[in-house]
Amino acid sequence: MEDFLYFFSFQDPNVLMVVIGISLLSISAAMVGTFTFLDKKALVGDAISHAVLPGVCLAFMFSGNKNPYWIVSGAFFTGALSTYVISWVARYTKLKEDTVIASVLSIFFGVGIVLMTQLQQTGNASLSGLDHFIFGNAISIVREDLWVYGALATCIIVVLLVFYKEFKVMVFNRSFAESIGLPVKRLDFVFNSLMVLAVVTGIQAIGVVLMAALLITPAAAAKFWTDRLSRLLFLAVLFSLISGISGAYISFSLPHMPTGPWVVVVLSIIAFLSFFFSTKKGILTRWVSRRKYQSKIHRDHILKALYQAEEHDKKGLPQKDIVDNFPGKVVKTHRTLRQLKKKGYITNDRELVALTSTGNSEAKRIVRLHRLWELYMTEYMNIAPDHVHESAEKFEHIITPELERQLDKSLNFPKEDPHQSIIPRDQNKP
């Protein structure tokens, strides 16, 4: 708790610096990443984040220290080289793009690891902390780093905001963008550079490999919550900020904890929560609506059984008969009967379950939809009357009032279904 207050009150200028740095880089990564994600270039982002490693090592070899200018230039050089190699090889060979990306990624990263091992064996004292560039260490950011990485991140954010609408058209519809005279090739170049830069800004704080996650995951998580680009960008930035700052805090409060993995852990939690609980497309939402639909089907079937009993001049059905009718669903049937009673659709004195007048008209509606659909299938789709029941069993639950009117109209308000059963209608409603 003390740590928490100390960290978030920003009384320590070093902490403030770290937070500013990580916020800027989270924002820029999430913004670039949103467009990368929408342009389906996630794999390229992954390749770049691996390909900056040899650049970092080369910069060490040349400069002999951790000067951020050298590091950034080296990382940018090999990162950019990898995108160039990917597009060149994909264009001039018959290899598919995913193959090319996977190979370029592993070759560059492999070279990077070789160089790094080589460097570590030299035992040069100024090279301690070189492995920070693999997993990231936000706390090791010093003032000079902040200037370099912060300036880069700010540049990225400004460029993206300036070309917002241009990138939007280009990602959605490239040929249209070209047709209105946008310089798509130059914009491509700008965007690829931004992508490399976004990775480069994160190498110190997050680490080379894990930057791929910070690019793509915020946008992927945000996509579960919205379907407007501006909101998508905002949410991606928000998710990224939350995970960036909490990652920095965790590596600050726990000794020897790298920042990158913790940022990714927090980010993954956000992504999983979005995946499960999103109100639009989340797994949970879909599961709930499926459950609702299934209970509606069960309810409809009970009402139908009661209605058919009435058609055979019975007053209702004994509760036991209804329960026996749905083997394996005893609990569910009891529950549904209670719900139906509560809603006023049925009366139930255990001996006899019977429809009320509201229940009767609801049951009629379901039977009507079933029989209308059966008739429609025989009349319009040339399906034999003994083949239509199965389909009608399914569609009686989903046909909307509008579709019902449409069916009624195209069948000219029929009286009987293909099996000569009456299509029931409420007398008071035409």
Partner 1 sequence: MIQHIENPVVEVHDLMVSYGQNPVLWNVDLSLPAGSLVGILGPNGAGKSTLIKAIMGLVEANSGYSKLFDQELNQVRNKVSYVPQRESVDWDFPASALDIVMMGTYHHLGLLKRPGKKEKELAMDCLDKVNMKNFAGRQISELSGGQQQRVFIARALAQQAELYFMDEPFAGVDMSTEKALIELFREMTAEGKTVIVVHHDIYSAGKYFDWLIMLNMHLVASGPTAEVLTEELLTKTYGGKLSTLADLGEIIKKSGFNPLKD
* Region near partner 1 per CB under 8 A, out of 179-187, 315-323, 382-390, 422-430: 179-187
The least CB distance from residue 164 to partner 1, in Å, is 8
- The full DSSP string for 70-107 is HHHHHHHHHHHHHHHHHHHHHHHSS--HHHHHHHHHHH
Of residues 185 and 256, the one with the C-beta less far from partner 1: 185
Report CA 417 to chain centroid distance, whole Å.
Answer: 45
Determine, following the binding rule CB under 8 A, whether residue 400 of this chain makes contact with partner 1.
no
C-alpha torsion sign, points 232, 237, 243, 246: negative
Q: Return the H-helix or E-strand segment holding 379.
A: helix 357-380
Of residues 210 and 233, the one with the C-beta less far from partner 1: 233
Beta bridge partners of 317: 353
* Region near partner 1 per CB under 8 A, out of 22-30, 73-81, 164-172, 295-303: 164-172
Determine, following the binding rule CB under 8 A, whether residue 88 of this chain makes contact with partner 1.
no
* Region near partner 1 per CB under 8 A, out of 7-15, 55-63, 219-227, 254-262: 219-227
Q: Judging by DSSP bridges, how do beta strands 353-355 and 346-348 pair with one another?
A: antiparallel
- Binding partner 1 (rule: CB under 8 A), the pick from 11, 179, 294, 358 is 179
Determine, following the binding rule CB under 8 A, whether residue 11 of this chain makes contact with partner 1.
no
At position 321, the amino acid (one-letter code) is D
- Binding partner 1 (rule: CB under 8 A), the pick from 87, 154, 226, 347 is 226
* Region near partner 1 per CB under 8 A, out of 50-58, 119-127, 162-170, 192-200: 162-170
Determine, following the binding rule CB under 8 A, whether residue 142 of this chain makes contact with partner 1.
no
Of residues 6 and 234, the one with the C-beta less far from partner 1: 234
416: phi then psi, degrees, rounded to nearest 5: -130, 150
Q: Assign 3-class secondary structure to 191-217.
A: HHHHHHHHHHHHCCCCCCCCHHHHHHH
Of residues 128 and 173, the one with the C-beta less far from partner 1: 173
The least CB distance from residue 165 to partner 1, in Å, is 6
The site for partner 1, by CB under 8 A, has a size of 25
Go through 144-158 and write b for each residue having 16 or more CB atoms within 10 A of its CB, e for each that does not.
ebbebbbebbeebbe
Closest by CA to 303, choosing from 351, 371, 366, is 366
Determine, following the binding rule CB under 8 A, whether residue 38 of this chain makes contact with partner 1.
yes
The least CB distance from residue 266 to partner 1, in Å, is 24
- Binding partner 1 (rule: CB under 8 A), the pick from 20, 111, 229, 238 is 229
Determine, following the binding rule CB under 8 A, whether residue 430 of this chain makes contact with partner 1.
no
Which tokens belong to 346? 């049925």
Determine, following the binding rule CB under 8 A, whether residue 232 of this chain makes contact with partner 1.
yes
| C-alpha distances out from residue 192 to 15, 32, 39, Å | 32, 10, 12
- Binding partner 1 (rule: CB under 8 A), the pick from 8, 62, 88, 172 is 172
Beta bridge partners of 353: 317, 348
Q: How far apart are CA 417 and CA 403, in angstroms?
A: 17
Of residues 127 and 219, the one with the C-beta less far from partner 1: 219
| Three-class DSSP category at 133 | helix
Contact residues toward partner 1 (CB under 8 A) are 38, 40, 162-163, 165-166, 168-169, 171-173, 175-176, 178-182, 223, 226-229, 231-232
